[in-house]
């Protein structure tokens, strides 16, 4: 299984370059609008799917950090020194409140542009999507709590590690259980 994953990861950049060349060729024949219409479809090639997932993931990180930072600023304005005195509690709350808009954004964008509709209806799909994200979230919260309590790692680095773990777990769950056709 590890060989298979490594092979896929090594093949991704090569396939992406091929797809980019094909996109450029299609654009010169049919125009950019029609060429990009294929790329934005959920049934595009796996390399386009993964590229869109990465773009959405990067955008989700910006939404997450924006919400996380706004929450921290709000808490510091309302209660100066709160993050200093109860670092773990406030960091976990900031992560929780950042999770809500990030999860909503990723569900809607992944459903529209990344994954092909599966066997579930939209409500069940959203429930499974959120349940998977929530389980991943709880595990990541435990990791964050341990890192904050027992290490001197910066809160933002802890948060970034939580995002990386969550991204991998959520992608696998979404690909094989939520949007699996």
- pLDDT tens figures, 39-49: 888 888 878 88
Q: Residue 165: CA atoms inside 13 Å, Cβ hemisphere, count?
A: 17
Terminal-residue alpha carbon distance, the chain = 22
- At 48-91, the pLDDT tens digits run 888 898 899 899 989 999 999 999 898 888 888 777 777 778 88
Please state, as a whole number, how many other Cβ atoms lie within 10 Å of the Cβ of residue 61. Answer: 16
Does the pLDDT value for residue 10 go beyond 70?
A: no
DSSP character at residue 79: S
Q: In the chain, where are the structural domains located?
A: 1-39, 53-178
pTM: 0.71
Average pLDDT, the chain: 83
Residues 22, 24, 26, 30: what is their CA dihedral angle, to the nearest 10 degrees? 180
Q: Could you read off the pLDDT of 104-119 as tens digits, one per residue?
A: 999 999 988 888 877 7
């Amino acid at each position: 299984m590890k060989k298979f994953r490594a092979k896929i990861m090594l093949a991704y950049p090569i396939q992406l370059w091929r797809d980019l060349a094909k996109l450029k060729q299609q654009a010169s024949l049919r125009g950019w609008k029609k060429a990009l219409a294929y790329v934005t479809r959920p049934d595009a090639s796996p390399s386009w799917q993964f590229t869109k997932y990465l773009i959405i993931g990067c955008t989700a990180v910006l939404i997450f950090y924006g919400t996380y930072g706004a929450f921290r600023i709000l808490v510091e304005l309302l209660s100066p020194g709160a993050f200093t005195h109860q670092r773990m509690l406030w960091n976990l709350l900031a992560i929780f409140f950042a999770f809500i808009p990030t999860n909503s954004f990723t569900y809607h964008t992944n459903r529209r542009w990344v994954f092909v509709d599966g066997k579930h209806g939209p409500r069940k799909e959203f429930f499974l999507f959120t349940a998977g994200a929530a389980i991943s979230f709880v595990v990541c919260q435990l990791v964050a709590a341990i890192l904050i309590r027992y290490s001197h790692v910066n809160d933002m680095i802890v948060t970034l590690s939580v995002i990386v773990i969550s991204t991998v777990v959520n992608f696998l769950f979404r690909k094989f259980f939520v949007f699996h056709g």
